[in-house]
Amino acid sequence: MSDPSPPPAASSPAKKRMVPCPNCRAPALFSPANPYRPFCSARCQGHDFGAWANEAYRVGANPPPDDKE
Ligand SMILES: [Zn+2]
């Protein structure tokens, strides 16, 4: 199969802004490539919005997307 998409970001040593995740303190990529910034992952992001998510869950109007990697 020929995939025209570019290779995964692994050849850019510089221009990477890392910030400590507010939830777990792990280095998180602070860039548009990370939709969960400043968190390191959806899990940590969800942690911060626990109460809000809980409310949304009760309503069940908009279930969060199941993001698998
Ligand atoms: Zn984290």
Total-model pTM: 0.47
Nearest 10 degrees: Cα torsion 22, 24, 27, 30: -40
Segments forming the whole domain that contains residue 55: 18-59
Q: Ligand 1 centre from 56 Cα, in Å?
A: 22
Q: Ligand 1 centre from 39 Cα, in Å?
A: 5
Looking up residue 24, the CATH number of its domain turns out to be 3.30.50.10
Q: What digits encode the pLDDT tens for the residues 6-58?
A: 666 655 555 789 999 998 999 999 999 999 999 999 888 886 555 555 665 56
The SS3 of residue 41 is coil
68 belongs to a structural domain: no
The pLDDT assigned to 38 comes to 92
Q: Ligand 1 centre from 6 Cα, in Å?
A: 27
Q: Ligand 1 centre from 53 Cα, in Å?
A: 17
Q: Ligand 1 centre from 3 Cα, in Å?
A: 32
